[in-house]
C-alpha cells in the first residue's frame, strides 16, 4: 500500500533555532517527492521537488534531502522565523495524477 | 499570471442550497484538480480534469458536480450537501497530467 509517514506530528521551537522534519514513504513506482508548506486555511505552497536522482535541494532557508534507497526524506529549516509556523507536508508522486500526501508536521515557532 | 485563484474565499450554505465554487488559472495548464481537506488532515483528491475532460473521479458523491467549461476554468457545483461536507476545498493545476501541481488558496465551506 502506498503510504507517506511524517514525524514528528508537531514541533515547537524558538525563533532562530534550526529544525529537521522527517518523511518515510512506501510508494511504488516513485516519480518525485515534494515538500509543501501550508498555512492554516490556505492552499499548500511548494518548497522543493526532488526526483530519484537528486539527494539534496535547497530553497533559501529550506534544505530537503532524499535517500531513495531507504525511502526517506528530510526537510531542514535553518534560522527559523515566526512566519515558518505552518504545516509541512511531504508528498510523493507515483507517476500518476495521484499524489500521496503525508499527514504533515505542524511547526510552531515562538519568539 | 502565475497563480491559481479560487472564489469565494468563504461560503456558508444550508443543506437545501445550490452553490458553486470557482477556480481559475491563466498559466496555460491543461490539468486541473479538486481536493477536499478536513482540519488537520491531508488533502483528498476528488476530481481530475485533463484537457477539459474528466479523467479521475474518486467515487465522490453526486451532490458534488464538477465542470470544466474551458482550459482556464474549473467549477464545483454543490447541491444538497451534508454538514460533514464542511471543509477546505482546494483547486490545483499542472501543465499536464502528472506534472507538479500548483494549489489555489482554497474555499472554506461550512454547511449548516
Q: Are residues A44 and B43, on separate chains, in Cβ contact within 8 Å?
A: yes
In this predicted structure, what is the pLDDT of residue A31? 86
Whether residue A49 has pLDDT greater than 70: yes
B48 contacts B35 by C-beta, under 8 angstroms = no
| Distance separating alpha carbons of residues B72 and B37, to the nearest angstrom | 23
Q: Which of A49, A96, A101 sits opposite B42 (nearest CB)?
A: A101
Alpha helices (H) along chain B: none
Answer whether B26 touches A (CB < 8 Å). Answer: no
Interface of A with B (CB under 8 A): 31-32, 34, 36, 41-46, 49, 89, 93, 95-99, 101-104, 106
| Distance separating alpha carbons of residues B34 and B60, to the nearest angstrom | 11
In this predicted structure, what is the pLDDT of residue B23? 98
The residue of B42, B92, B93 whose CB has the most chain A CBs within 10 angstroms, and thus the best one to mutate to test that interface, is: B42
Half-sphere exposure of B11 (CA within 13 A, CB side): 27
In this predicted structure, what is the pLDDT of residue A87? 96
- A63-101 residue pLDDT tens: 999 999 999 999 999 999 999 999 999 999 886 667 899
In this predicted structure, what is the pLDDT of residue B22? 98
- Mean pLDDT calculated for residue range A10-25: 97
Joined together, the cell numbers standing for residue B73 give 476554468
| Distance separating alpha carbons of residues B46 and B91, to the nearest angstrom | 10
Whether residue A62 has pLDDT greater than 80: yes
Q: Are residues A46 and B102, on separate chains, in Cβ contact within 8 Å?
A: yes
In this predicted structure, what is the pLDDT of residue B99? 82
Q: Are residues B104 and A43, on separate chains, in Cβ contact within 8 Å?
A: yes
| Distance separating alpha carbons of residues B98 and A97, to the nearest angstrom | 5
**pLDDT class of A39 with cuts at 50, 70, 90:** very high
Instruction: Kindly give the confidence (pLDDT) of every residue in chain B, 112 residues in length, as a single tens digit, with 9 standing for 90 and above.
Output: 669 999 999 999 998 889 999 999 999 999 999 999 998 899 999 999 999 999 888 889 999 999 999 999 999 999 999 999 999 999 999 998 888 889 999 999 999 9
Distance from CA of A15 to the nearest CA of B (A): 23
In this predicted structure, what is the pLDDT of residue A2? 84
Q: Are residues A104 and B56, on separate chains, in Cβ contact within 8 Å?
A: no
Amino acid at each position: 500500500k502506498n503510504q507517506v509517514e511524517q514525524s514528528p506530528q508537531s514541533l515547537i521551537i524558538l525563533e532562530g533555532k534550526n529544525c529537521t522534519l522527517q518523511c518515510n514513504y512506501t510508494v511504488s513506482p516513485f516519480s518525485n517527492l515534494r515538500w509543501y508548506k501550508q498555512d492554516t486555511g490556505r492552499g499548500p505552497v511548494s518548497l522543493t521537488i526532488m526526483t530519484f536522482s537528486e539527494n539534496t535541494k535547497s530553497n533559501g532557508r529550506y534544505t530537503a534531502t532524499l535517500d531513495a534507497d531507504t525511502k526517506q526524506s528530510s526537510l531542514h529549516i535553518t534560522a527559523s522565523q515566526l512566519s515558518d509556523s505552518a504545516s509541512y507536508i511531504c508528498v510523493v508522486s507515483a507517476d500518476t495524477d495521484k499524489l500521496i500526501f503525508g499527514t504533515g508536521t505542524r511547526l510552531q515557532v515562538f519568539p | 499570471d502565475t497563480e491559481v485563484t479560487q472564489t469565494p474565499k468563504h461560503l456558508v450554505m444550508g443543506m437545501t442550497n445550490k452553490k458553486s465554487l470557482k477556480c481559475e488559472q491563466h498559466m496555460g495548464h491543461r490539468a486541473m484538480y479538486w481536493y477536499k481537506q478536513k482540519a488537520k488532515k491531508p488533502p483528498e483528491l476528488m476530481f481530475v480534469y485533463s484537457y477539459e475532460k474528466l479523467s479521475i473521479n474518486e467515487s465522490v458523491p453526486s451532490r458534488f458536480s464538477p465542470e470544466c467549461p474551458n482550459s482556464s476554468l474549473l467549477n464545483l457545483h454543490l447541491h444538497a450537501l451534508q454538514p460533514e461536507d464542511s471543509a477546505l476545498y482546494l483547486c490545483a493545476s499542472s501543465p499536464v497530467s502528472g506534472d507538479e501541481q500548483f494549489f489555489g488558496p482554497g474555499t472554506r465551506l461550512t454547511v449548516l
